């Protein structure tokens, strides 16, 4: 994952990274925005994040996928035990198209799309059981406006007379906080 240089900090460790100090400042601002007040966040913290996280090009279409398959299973009878079933190993394949550059800052992954900053906890993404993502949105003049959280909508299509099911997760962003 390539990380563009932070043009605001001439002391960055390399042209392709944010300095460790920048990452601490970003993580602290994110902690304040997400956890300080349940209904509002400081607009200055949002402006600070937008200045520090370099803007990246965003594809007009972003798609992610996750495929799970179950290996073969066996069943039978075991002496003294009875019926026994052993499931095969689960294989998970993930990928995506149109993904933006992401910066790791503390417990967060963050990317700057210009009109918004997308924030995810490190061990979470769109496909997690309980995804933990937020989006910090800015108005046309660059004023921080609101914070939304990721609320997926899951659909499952089963193919009759087969064991095949196709799941589809559509992302949706729900209102959370407003700028103070």
Q: Which residues pair with 173 in a beta bridge?
A: 150
At 60 the pLDDT is 66
β-strands 40-41, 173-179 pairing: parallel
127 with 173, same domain: the answer is yes
109 with 89, same domain: the answer is no
Instruction: Report pLDDT digits (tens) over 72-94.
Output: 888 888 888 889 888 888 887 77
Q: pLDDT band at 141, cuts 50/70/90?
A: very high
164 with 85, same domain: the answer is no
Pick the last residue of a domain from 40, 73, 94. Answer: 94
Instruction: Report pLDDT digits (tens) over 43-80.
Output: 999 999 999 998 877 666 666 666 777 778 888 888 88
Q: pLDDT band at 172, cuts 50/70/90?
A: confident
CA dist 68 to 41, 80, 167, Å?
38, 34, 10
87 with 160, same domain: the answer is no
Closest CA to 179 of 140, 149, 137: 137
> Domain range spanning residue 67?
63-94
Closest CA to 169 of 129, 120, 118: 129
Other CB atoms within a 10 A radius of the CB of residue 116 amount to: 20
116 with 156, same domain: the answer is yes
152 with 84, same domain: the answer is no
Total count of domains within the chain: 2
81 with 169, same domain: the answer is no
104 with 144, same domain: the answer is yes
135 or 122, higher pLDDT: 135
Domain annotation covers residue 120: yes
């Amino acid at each position: 994952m390539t990380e563009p240089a932070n043009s605001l900090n001439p002391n960055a460790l390399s042209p392709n990274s944010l300095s460790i100090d920048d990452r601490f400042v970003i993580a602290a601002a994110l902690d304040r925005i997400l956890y300080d007040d349940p209904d509002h966040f400081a607009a200055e913290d949002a402006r600070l994040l937008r200045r520090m996280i370099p803007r990246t090009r965003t594809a007009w279409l972003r798609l992610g996928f996750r495929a799970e398959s179950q290996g073969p299973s066996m069943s039978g009878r075991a002496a003294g035990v009875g019926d026994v079933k052993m499931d095969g190993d689960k294989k998970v394949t993930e990928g995506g198209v149109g993904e933006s550059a992401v910066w790791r800052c503390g417990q967060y992954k963050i990317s700057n799309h210009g009109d918004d900053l997308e924030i995810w906890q490190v061990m979470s993404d769109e496909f997690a059981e309980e995804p933990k993502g937020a989006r910090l949105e800015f108005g046309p003049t660059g004023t921080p406006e609101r914070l939304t959280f990721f609320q997926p909508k899951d659909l499952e299509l089963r193919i009759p007379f087969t064991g095949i099911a196709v799941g589809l997760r559509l992302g949706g962003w729900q209102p959370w906080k407003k700028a103070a």
